[in-house]
Structure formats: C-alpha cells, structure tokens
Amino acid sequence: MSDLLSLGTSGIQTYQKALSTVSNNIANLNTEGYSRQVAKSEETTPKSIGSGYLGTGSATTAIRRQYDAFLEDSLRQSSSNLASQEQLVKYAERLVNLLGSETVGLDNAFDQFFATAKELSADPASNVLRQSYLRDADTVASRFRELAGLMNEVGLESTEEFASNLDELNALASELAQVNKMMLKNASEVKQPPQLLDQRDLILRQMADLIPVTVRTNTIGQAAVSLTSSFNKGVIVSGVVAERARVDFDDTDPGNIRLIIEKTDGSIDELTGTSNGTLGGIVQFRQTVLDPILSGFDALAKSFADTLNQIQTTGIDGHGDFGQALFQIDPVFDVARDAASLTFDTDIQAEAGFTGLDEPIRVYFDELQNVWKSVDPVTQRPVTQNADGDLKFDGLTVRMTGTARTGDSITITSRDQAALTIQARLEDPLAVATSSVFRISHDEDNLGTSAPRVAYKPLPVRPEEQLIQETFGVTAAQFVSANASTRAQLGLVQAGARDLKAISQSSFDEPVSLHLMTREGVHIAGDPLSDGQLQALVDPVNGFVDDATYVGAYRNQTSQQAYRDLDVFVGLRGEAQTVDLASSPVDPRTGERTSVLSQSQYSGRLESKPLPAVSVAPGEDRTVIPAGALTVNGRAMPGLIAPVGGENLAVSTVVDWLNHTGAGNFAAAASNRTEFELDQIDLSSTLSINGSIINPSENGTVDTRGFISMRHMVESINAESEVTGVEASLTDRNSLILERVTDPDQPIELSSGSQFRYRHPFAPQQTTSLRSQIQIESVDPLADLEIRLTDTGTVQHLAALGLNAGIYLDGEAEEDLLLFAVGAGSKNTAFELSGSVDDPLNTQTEIETLRDSQFKLTFLDEETFQIHDLETDTLMGTRQLDAENLTNYRGIELSFDPNPRAGDSFVVDGNNTGPDGEFNAFANNENIIRVVELEFDPNAFGTGETIGEAYRQLFSLAGNRANQAAVARDALQVVKDQAVGARDAVSGVSLDEEAADLIRFQQAYQASAQVIQAAQTLFDRIISIR
Amino acid sequence: MVMSTQLFFSSAVDRMGNQQGRVNELQTQIATGKKVVTPSDAPDQATVISRLRSAVNRQEGFDRALTAVENRLTAEETALDSMQSALIRIQELAIQGANDTNGSQDRQALATEIAGLVDHMVGLANTQDVSGNYVFAGSDAKTRPYTTVNNEIVYQGDDVTSQIFVSEQQMLNLNRPGSKMFPPIQHSTDAGEDNKRSFFGALGDLVSAMNQGEYDGIHQGLEDVTDMVNSVSKSLADVGTDLTVVESRKEVLNDVKLRYQTLLSDAQDLDYSKAITDLSAEMLTLEAAQAAFAKISGQSLFDYIR
C-alpha cells in the first residue's frame, strides 16, 4: 500500500520550496535585475502494485529563473539605440541654445554692426559713428570668440563624459569577468545560482546602455562580450579575462575619436563606426554636429574677417591712407615633438598680422654647437638660436627653453581657428576706411552734362606675368636667353621696380633691339618699329590692355620731352668709378708700416667689341650712322660715311670721327688686344703672327714640335715684336694677352705658318684675323661716358661701332612697363638684366603710386578720351568707352552717363587734393557703402547667402539634427518600452501573481499536511484496534 | 500580458513626470509670453524668428538712413528757398539799375544791396548740417566750399554725390555738390562760341557793372540772374522731387516693417487663450493621472487575503 505519510511529506516539502520561491520573489520585488523564479515540481516514480501503479508523491526538480535570452537581447539592443539618441539630443540642443540665444548669438551682433555701417554711410565724417562702427566690429569679433569658446566647452564636456563612461564600461567588464569566474564552479548553466545569472544579465544591460554589445554565452553560462558584431575583433570580455578600452581624441578634428581596446596579450584593436549607446551618441554628436558646426563657424568667421579686411584695405581712411585690416585672426600653433626628450619647452610668439605657416617649420638641436637650428620656410635662410634662446623667423619668434639632448627636434605647424581668435584690431576712429580710393571731378567749362563715376576695381594679375616679374625682381642680375625670332617678351617691369638696366648682345648684321612700353601702348624707349612689327607687338597677348593705342611721341626722349619726365637712357653707358687703394708704405722716420688709403678715379669708359666688317656696295647710300642719330656725352655726332668702293670701314676712320667731335670732352683710341684663357691654348701648334714665323726651326720653316711651355711661347712672340708689332703677356688670372702695340688700328693676323698645318695655338683654324677695337673715355675723370641713341638712332648704329645697346631706367617705374626684344632672324641672344623691386607682387604699391598722380581725361569725341598725367602733361594712353560706357584704367573703373561731349575733360585724383596733398574726402562714403551692401548681398561671402543666413544655416543644422534625434528618440523609446514590457512579462515579479501563488501553494501545503494527518489518523485507528 | 509591480510603478511615475513637464512648459510660455522659450524647443521656428528679427532690424536701419536723407534735403531746400528769394530781389534791383534814369549814386546804392544779398547767398551756399558738414561741398565736407580767393568766390568742394541705401534695392542721393546746384552760367557770344562764368563770379560781375555803370554788364548780369533763378528753381524742384521720393519710400518702409513685425509676432508671440486652455487641459490630465494612480496603486490582492 502506498505510503500516505511519505506522500504527504513529499507534498509538504514540494510546497515548502514553492512557498519559499514565492516569498523570495516577493522579497526581491524591488531588486534591480532580479528575475522571477518558479519552483518546478514533478511526480516521483510510481510504484507497481500488479494491478497498476501507485503514485509516490512529488518532488521539486528545479527552481527556474523566468528568462528569455531573445527578449534580453532585444532589450539590450533597444536600450543601446535609445541611449545614443538621448545623448545626441542632449548635446545638439545645447548648441542650438547657444547659437540661437538672443544674448550670445551672432545674429543680432551682425544686425547691429550693419545698422551702424548704414548710419555711418549717411555721415562718414562723424567720429562718433566711426567709433560706434569699431565698437560693433569688436562686438561681432568677441561674440565669435565667446560662441566658439562655449561650443568648444560643450565639446570638452562631451569628451569628459565619454571618458567617464568608458571607465564605467571598463569597470563593468571586470565585474563581468568576476561573475564569469564564479561560474566556473558549476558544470552547466542551469546549475548556476540564479542570482549569478541575474547579475550577469544586469551587467550586460548596463554595458549595452553605454555601447552596443554582442553577447555569446557558453554552456556554463559565462558571457563573452564583443564591442563589434563579431568575435574576431573588439572582444572586451572573454571568459575570465576583461580587456581595457581607452580613447584618443584629436585636438584638431572633433569628429576624430579613436576607441582602442588594449589587450592583455599586448595587441590592439581599433574600433570604428561606434554610433550607438551613450558612447556612440557622443561620437555621433561630435561627428555630425560639433565638427561641421565648428568648422562652418570658423569658415564663417574667416570669410567675414577676410571680406571686411578686403573692403577696409581697398578704401581710404580718415588719415588719407589705405585702411588697415579691421580684423585679425591669429594662427594657433601645434608643436609636435619628433624626439622623446621632454626636458625642453617651446614658446611661440607671432607678430601682429602673421597669418600662419604654409609649410611646417622643423627645429632641430645641434649638439655640436649646443644651439637649436632651423630653416625659415619663407625665405629659405638658415635660422640659429640667439643668445636669448630665440629663433627668429619671418614674423615669428620661437623660444626654446630647458635642456635639449642629441637628436631632439620639433615640428611646428599652424592652423586657423578663426572663430576662436578673431579680433577687431583698430581703435582709432579715423582708421575706418569709409572713402573710396579715387575721385572724379568734371571741369567747370564742360559743355556736356555727364555724371562720371569712379570705382577701384583691381585688374586680375596674369600668372605668367607674375613669373617673369618674380625672377626679375628677386635676382639682382641674370642673363636671360630668349628666342628673338621676331619679338620676345622679356618680362614685366612691375610698378615700383627701380634702376632697371637691360642690355642686349647685338651684332651689326643681326641687331636685336630692346623696347620699353607701357601697357597702354606708349613707346618709351627702343628703335623705331614698322607698322607690321607694331601690329604684332601691341596685342593683349603681350600684356597690353585690350584697347591699347600705340603712342610713339615719347620714344627715346629725355627730360621734359620724356614720358612722364622719366629718366630713361637708351644707348650704352660707361660709369666713372672710384676705386679705393690701400697701401702700407714704411714711414722713413719711425721705420713702421702705416696704412694709407688713397682713391683712384677712373673716368667712364667703353670698350668696343672688334669692329664688324662694314662696307657699302658702290652706288648705295654710304651713310653708316646718320648725323644726329647718336650723342656722345651730350654732343650730337655727325654722320659716319663708309669709304667709296666697298671697302670696310677702317678703325682709324671711326676713331677720327669720334675724336673730331669729342675734343676736350671724350677721346677715342684704337686698340687691338685679345685675352685668351690658358687652357684654350694648344702649345703643340705652330704659330705665325702678321706673316712672321714665331717658332722657326733651324731651316727657317715652322718647328713642328710647337712650344715647350707657355713662357716659351710668350718669350718667342715678344722676341718677334719688333717685326710683328705684337706683344704677349701672361696675367695672374690664367690667361694670356695678345696686344698690337704698334699701329693698334691694324689687325693681328694669326696663322699656323704652314700650309700643311690646320691650326695655330689660339684657334682650331689655319688663319685668324683679330680685328681692332675702339676705346672711348671721358676726359673728365669723374664723368660717365654716355652714348645715347636719339629717336633717329638704332641699335644697328651702335653695333657698327662694336657696341651693345641697352635701356637704363634711373629711379622708379610708376606703372607696369613691358620689356621686349625685337630682332631679325631666329637665334638666341643673351640679355643682361638688372633692377630691383622692393616688394614683388604687391599691387598696393602700384595703387599707391597711382593715387599720388592726377589724371586728366580729355574726350576727343563722345567715346574716345585721352589720359594725361596732370603733373608732367604726358599722354599716357587713349581709351574708348565700351557699350556700357565703362572702361578700366589700371584698376580705376570709369563710367560716364550720359556720354560726355567732345572737348569735355575730367580729373581723376586719389581723394588727396587738400593742401600739401592731404586727404579731403571726409564725406565720401563709397567704401562704407560696400560694407552696407554686404548685409544683403548673397554673393558677398562666397557662400551664396548673406552672412546672417549663413549663420542661421549653421544654427538650423544643429537644430535639424536635434530635431531628427528627438524624433528618433521618441520612436526608440516606444521600442524600448515594448522590449521592457516583453521582458517584464516573463521575468518581472507581479505582487498579485505572487499573492495568488502564495494562496495556491499554501492551500496545497495545508492539504498535504492534512494527508499526513490522515495518515496519522489511519495509523491511530489501526493501532487502536484491539 | 502580465505586468510586474515594479514596472507598473515606474511607468506610472514616468508618465506623471512627463505630464508635469508639459504643464511646466506651458507655464513658462505663459510667463514669458513667447511661443519658443529656448531655441531648442523648436529649432526651425527659432531660425524663422531670428530671420524676421534681422529683417525688422534692417528696416529700422533703412528708416534711419531715410531720416538722414530727409534732414539733408530739408537743409538744402531751406537754403535754396532763401537763395531764390535773394535772387528775385537781385533781379528787381538789377532791373532798377538797368534803368537809365538812375544816377551813379543810386546805382551804387543798388550795387551795395546786391553785394549784401550775394554775401547772404554765399553764406547759404556754405550751409552746414547738424554734424558740421558743409551741405554743398561734395565729399570735401570739412572744407568751406565757397571762399574768396583773389576777390573771386571760388568753389573749393568736389563733384562727388554720395548715395546711400534706403532699401535693399534702392539708393538715394545723400548730397548735391555746389558744382551741380549752382552751375556756371553759360554765355553765348556773338561768335557762336560757348563760354562759361561761375555762378558767384557772374553775380560779382553784376555788382561791379552796377558800381561802374556799365550797361552792357548790367544787361548781361540781368540775363545771368534770370538763368540763375531758373537753375536754382530747377535745383529746388530736384530737391523737392527727392523729398517726395523719401516720403513715399518711408511709407513703403513702414508697411514692410509692419509686415515683418506681424510675421515676427505670429512666429514668436504666444496665443494666450490657446495656451491657457491647453494648460487647463494638461493640468486636468495630470490631476486625473495622479488620482487614478492613487486609487490603483492601493489595490493589492494581499488586501483581500484575510
């Protein structure tokens, strides 16, 4: 018979356990992470009694956690997603509130600035308004700085939060590893204490809040966690090992966040694309909100500063000068230590107006000299640390302190943080450039009623011109080889260039002439040009303005007749020289050497090349140089006539011709002197000079062995000089000079002296004739020698005398000049160029010189006008108005409405016609009007929208992002609520449910107790049977 | 679906918290009178508000510019008006002087009066505005435009007419230089050639002709004065036209400003009746939620197990 007692006991035991499970559930009602537990009971194995089976009661088989891995996983995922959007909303809204704030926001600062500009445009002479304008500019700059600072602070906070969240993640990871370790005691997951499993799941949920996790559990319930979607990479907890995650932020790029897992085995996993969880939310914020807004804000500040500076610097301030930049943006320097040594410090000071480094500067430690050294990236010049410890660069001082070690070096780079560093730098109210650069006035006697307008619109500089200009300006003297087939543009002589000297190597047969012209087509210097040449030359391709008209009236003229009274000299100049001679004679009284400095004067002299062979065929015009084509030291030269009968022009004729005019002023003499470099001389050759054999053998013919030595040759030549008239001498510069001392106007005939030998020592030729040259010298020892070409003179005339020709511009070029070479044939010719430009590529210099001149515009008819320089009354060009009645003269844009009448004249000046050239256009508002226009000009800042709109765009970028994130957050909140509900339905503890269970189990327990009592009663009954 | 007790409590608290938040939001709106209290409440709306606020500010700037033009024009009009009266008086005096019946003393007396009137006119041509700028000096506003050089009244200003923006599209002349307002007088000679005499130079000529009794000069002067009356009238008309433009521009501007302000108010200002209604509704919801919570949360099966 079945054991009632044990049946009852088993029931009691089962329900006792069930009751404690329910009680435990109730006790843990508010325990975070607790999963409801349920006691599972089963029927114990029944006993066979032949006719069937009798039950033996029940037993508790397990106490189960109510848990669904799938629901747990989706909860983790949804909480990751929600957390990221919450972060994004939180941070984006802070930016929105900063940018959109009425007090810190920039929009009303802009409004105020432009309102003041408008007021100033109505009364530009008012110092009070100028002061307000500067104050409002300062407000804009400081708002930029404040906002950038506050936004950077938000960025900094987000990095701090990121770091602290990461610490939390690391703590959770070690906790999880600890839990995993405790699980080792049990052989399977179901055997694990539920409390341990709850703890595991809670940790995982907390991790998922921070960052999305992929979880894998093994048979004993240990959880492995990866921060990526796979376990190949990003594993942070594996078994009992927890890895450490750390983060690197980039100072220069807020969106660049490197999340790195440093593994215990030493390897490194770098994670990318973290976009969910609290951490991912911060990454998203920095990448999609903070980074674009900060860089957009910087760009805004930069374009605002640049645009206003451009206007300010192309206008005239209250002092009458070009305006100074209104805003300054200081570059931020980054110093990278290339070497590990940390015992030194670097301090960088930039000069005001320093705009940043185009290239990095590398500073290295020179251990031999114990100083820091570098190379200036702009000037390429070496820079060495001075006694104060400073390295001085162009606009930059780098101070190195502390001790350096061998191999130490740093690299300095700079970047703009425009919004953070923008500053208004002007304080003087007069420094506001309200006025335009130029002004136009009409003549009172004009009959037309034209209202002219003038604006400063600098013409674009052509890049190819800049190139020439740069090499020209930087190099003091250089030879340029150019193909002079018909013409060659040698380059642009930039306005402001000084002391130009250009000389062409020319020959009589193929003369190459140099020409100096203005962009307007005024021929300043050079040979007369044919119509065909002019047509080819005066073309915009060659740097002329579009409607340049050729003007030849000023060509080769001097002083008052010259173009704008320029000091231009065409011809060739031998400069007088003063040479200091130092000697140290012995004082006869003291016997000591004393140092005496004496000066030696050398008058200006010119030495010609060997005269070319000039002959004129019989019957042709024998004039080689027409009368008046040349002046020598101011004396006009008479005509030079070639001999009758086709003979060559003799040197003596030329010398006589020169000396005839030059009496008392300059003197000419023939000379025949040639210098040979020693290594060009072939000693093994034979030599005959002027028909006399120099090295005869015993039988009187040439000695085929040549010369033994250089000295031998010199002595041999000099031994024959009585006969040949030629002397040789050696110099101390490794050369040998052959000079005809008697009859120097005659040639030196060199030959091998034998019809069988094909070279002589000086040239690989059988015979060579060295022709005479001419030396011309000023009589006055202090005077230059100047051979000038007049307007009838040509380069060929000088070439007939064996001389090169050139153009000299003494003083400063006030406008751009074009230099050309014109020649016949196709060949390379060498040019000698020198000159200097103080500040190459500076358009400001040109406009300054332009302002200092006044121009008179005289209309020839309704469209054509001439431009005269008022000071020198020089015709500078002729212009035609275009269809819109516009023209641009060197950056001065002129417009007339309606067309003037013939004879009307206008004067353009630089707004500085007050007494002593002072500024007097206080009420001119044309430049400040340009600022007013900026407010509503959508193209002013190159962004396609006004500055206010550009700012609002940034603001709405943050706003839209915050909006999107908020919408996503609300949607994800629902998802998460659902996931929480679903998990809760399985694992949550409901008091009502527990109460019902409690009653159910209690009743069952009581019933089981009744069974025992029944057994007792039965037993008692049986016992009591007597 | 089963709901755990913990979740029941926490979600009820969350919901009441949210409700409380909405009530608070409405309360702040009512307190500030603004629809958008912080820009993050409605970033799109905040952009519109900022844009409209800028537009209103810009119109106010134009308003000030118009006032500046108006002041300038009024100053010019006053000066020109007085000049015209002076010229008409000179004309009368010159007609008297041209009469042969006058003796030299009479003419000199007339000349003296004309000279006085010319001085008065020079004074008017040198009118200054409130900031001390010479009205008729062009851009050279710090220099007295009409001064005596070698006994001749010479114009020292320049030709510049400054313009200022009075709307995004329209510019108006701020000043008119003396060279345009008081242009030289054109003389046609018998030879048919044109030549010119400066405005005040011609008046000077008239004075000396009257003094000297040169009838040719007086007649020429009379002709010149007639020309001057005409040109000053023309200048007056020009100024008057500009003033009319300013007036109409002001009206347009006020309309534009009003429109922007209305839009701004629509975007920015709170609809109180709606806000207050909303507030009561939200409060009601909150109270209901609280009452319901109090009731339901007290319910537990344990209460019934006795």
> Which token pair is A216?
């894998």
For residues A14 and A6, give the distance between their C-alpha atoms in angstroms, rounded to a whole number: 12
What is the rounded average pLDDT for all residues in chain A?
A: 84
pLDDT tens-digit map of B186-219: 876 666 566 778 889 889 888 988 888 888 888 8
First CA to last CA across chain B, in angstroms? 27
Q: Nearest Cα to B74, choosing from B3, B115, B130, B22?
A: B130
How deeply is A711 buried, as exposed, middle or buried, from its count of CB atoms within 10 A (0-12, 13-18, 19+)? exposed
Give the least confident one: A99-103, A979-983, B58-62.
Answer: A99-103
Interface test with B, best of A925, A945, A960, A1000 (most B CBs within 10 A): A925
Question: What percent of chain B has a predicted confidence (pLDDT) above 90?
Answer: 37
- Structure pTM? 0.76
pLDDT tens-digit map of A432-472: 999 888 888 887 777 777 778 888 877 766 544 433 333 33
For residues A710 and A730, give the distance between their C-alpha atoms in angstroms, rounded to a whole number: 9
- Secondary structure of A450-519 in HEC code, one letter for each residue: CEEEEEECCCCCCHHHHHHHHHHHHCCEEEEEEECCCEEEEEEECCCEEEEEEEECCCCCCCEEEEEEEC
Residue A959: what are its φ and ψ, rounded to 5°?
-60, -45
The answer on pLDDT for A322 being more than 90 is: no
Q: Which residues of A touch B173 (CB under 8 A)?
A: none
Put the strands of the sheet holding A635-636 in their side by side order. A477-483, A828-837, A497-504, A805-812, A567-574, A785-789, A630-632, A635-636
Residue A825: what are its φ and ψ, rounded to 5°?
75, -175
pLDDT tens-digit map of A153-169: 999 999 999 999 999 99
* Whether B143 and A914 lie within 8 Å, measured CB to CB: yes
pLDDT tens-digit map of A80-127: 999 999 999 999 999 988 888 888 889 889 999 999 999 999 889 888
Nearest CB to B2; choose among A435, A959, A985: A985
Question: What type of residue sits at position A728?
Answer: A
- What residues contact A380, with CB distance under 8 A and at least 6 apart? none
The answer on pLDDT for A827 being more than 70 is: no
Q: What is the ipTM of this complex?
A: 0.89
The answer on pLDDT for A614 being more than 50 is: yes
Residue A473's pLDDT is: 32
Closest-CA residue of A relative to B140 is A921
* Whether B58 and A115 lie within 8 Å, measured CB to CB: yes
Residue A485's pLDDT is: 36
Cβ–Cβ contact A949 with B under 8 A: yes
Report residue A597's pLDDT band, with 50, 70 and 90 as the boundaries.
Answer: low
Q: What is the mean pLDDT of residues A588-608?
A: 73
How deeply is A708 buried, as exposed, middle or buried, from its count of CB atoms within 10 A (0-12, 13-18, 19+)? exposed
3-state secondary structure of A653: helix
Contact B206, B218 (CB under 8 A): yes
Residue A182: what are its φ and ψ, rounded to 5°?
-65, -25
Residue A558's pLDDT is: 84
Residue with token string 């449910």: A993
Residue A813's pLDDT is: 79
- Interface list for A 180-219 with B (CB within 8 A): none
Q: What is the mean pLDDT of residues A855-875?
A: 89
Cβ–Cβ contact A439 with B under 8 A: yes
Give the least confident one: A336-345, A420-429, B35-44.
Answer: A336-345
Question: What type of residue sits at position A532?
Answer: G
Cβ–Cβ contact A420 with B under 8 A: no
Residue B190's pLDDT is: 60
pLDDT tens-digit map of A895-932: 888 888 888 888 888 888 777 777 888 888 888 998 99
The answer on pLDDT for A343 being more than 80 is: no
Cβ–Cβ contact A911 with B under 8 A: yes
Q: Nearest Cα to B176, choosing from B235, B241, B94?
A: B235
> Which token pair is A90?
């939180």
The answer on pLDDT for A352 being more than 80 is: no
Q: Which residues of B touch A990 (CB under 8 A)?
A: 2-5
* Whether B39 and A959 lie within 8 Å, measured CB to CB: yes
Cβ–Cβ contact A447 with B under 8 A: yes
Cβ–Cβ contact A931 with B under 8 A: no
Closest-CA residue of A relative to B177 is A441
Interface test with B, best of A29, A68, A441 (most B CBs within 10 A): A441
A700 or A825: which carries more pLDDT confidence?
A700
Cβ–Cβ contact A999 with B under 8 A: yes
Contact A554, A563 (CB under 8 A): yes
- Counting every residue written for chain B, the total comes to 306
Interface test with A, best of B301, B303, B304 (most A CBs within 10 A): B301
Measure in Å the smallest separation between the Cα of B7 and chain A Cα atoms: 7
Q: What is the mean pLDDT of residues A204-208?
A: 93
For residues A104 and A97, give the distance between their C-alpha atoms in angstroms, rounded to a whole number: 9
Residue A486's pLDDT is: 42
Residue A768's pLDDT is: 87
Q: Nearest Cα to B29, choosing from B211, B279, B282?
A: B279
Q: Which residues of A touch B58 (CB under 8 A)?
A: 111, 114-115, 935-936
> Which token pair is A76?
């983790």
* Whether B162 and A999 lie within 8 Å, measured CB to CB: no
What secondary structure letter does DSSP report for A1003? H
Nearest CB to B43; choose among A108, A963, A989: A963
Residue A469's pLDDT is: 36
Q: Which residues of B touch A101 (CB under 8 A)?
A: 39
* Whether B140 and A107 lie within 8 Å, measured CB to CB: no
Report residue A215's pLDDT band, with 50, 70 and 90 as the boundaries.
Answer: very high
For residues A422 and A305, give the distance between their C-alpha atoms in angstroms, rounded to a whole number: 8
Q: Nearest Cα to A836, choosing from A379, A394, A395, A478?
A: A478
Residue A166's pLDDT is: 93
Question: What percent of chain A has a predicted confidence (pLDDT) above 90?
Answer: 22
Q: What is the mean pLDDT of residues A575-587?
A: 71
- Secondary structure of chain B in HEC code, one letter for each residue: CCCCHHHHHHHHHHHHHHHHHHHHHHHHHHHHCECCCCHHHCHHHHHHHHHHHHHHHHHHHHHHHHHHHHHHHHHHHHHHHHHHHHHHHHHHHHHHHHCCCCCHHHHHHHHHHHHHHHHHHHHHHCCECCCCCECCCCCCCCCCCEEEECCEEEECCCCCCCEEECCCCCEEECCCCHHHHCCCEEEECCCCCEEEECHHHHHHHHHHHHHHCCHHHHHHHHHHHHHHHHHHHHHHHHHHHHHHHHHHHHHHHHHHHHHHHHHHHHHHECCHHHHHHHHHHHHHHHHHHHHHHHHHHCCCHHHHCC
* Whether B194 and A447 lie within 8 Å, measured CB to CB: yes
Q: What is the mean pLDDT of residues B38-67?
A: 87
Residue A487's pLDDT is: 47
Report residue A355's pLDDT band, with 50, 70 and 90 as the boundaries.
Answer: confident
Closest-CA residue of A relative to B172 is A122
Question: What type of residue sits at position A549?
Answer: T
Q: Which residues of B touch A29 (CB under 8 A)?
A: 5-6
What secondary structure letter does DSSP report for A650? P
* Whether A447 and B198 lie within 8 Å, measured CB to CB: no
* Whether B3 and A984 lie within 8 Å, measured CB to CB: yes
Question: What type of residue sits at position B166?
Answer: V
Cβ–Cβ contact A255 with B under 8 A: no
For residues A776 and A659, give the distance between their C-alpha atoms in angstroms, rounded to a whole number: 9
Residue A472's pLDDT is: 35
Nearest CB to B57; choose among A101, A111, A440: A111
* Whether A97 and B39 lie within 8 Å, measured CB to CB: yes
Contact B39, B46 (CB under 8 A): yes
Report residue B246's pLDDT band, with 50, 70 and 90 as the boundaries.
Answer: very high
pLDDT tens-digit map of A22-57: 999 999 988 888 999 999 999 988 888 888 888 888
Q: What is the mean pLDDT of residues A788-803?
A: 88
Residue A911: what are its φ and ψ, rounded to 5°?
60, 25
Cβ–Cβ contact A959 with B under 8 A: yes
Contact A931, A122 (CB under 8 A): no
Nearest CB to A107; choose among B11, B54, B168: B54
Question: What percent of chain A has a predicted confidence (pLDDT) above 70?
Answer: 92
Interface test with A, best of B127, B159, B194 (most A CBs within 10 A): B159
> Distances from the Cα of B70 to the Cαs of A652, A797, B234, B237, B258, in angstroms?
87, 72, 19, 15, 21
* Whether A451 and B161 lie within 8 Å, measured CB to CB: yes
* Whether B4 and A984 lie within 8 Å, measured CB to CB: yes
* Whether B65 and A118 lie within 8 Å, measured CB to CB: yes
Q: Which residues of B touch A910 (CB under 8 A)?
A: none
- What residues contact B14, with CB distance under 8 A and at least 6 apart? none
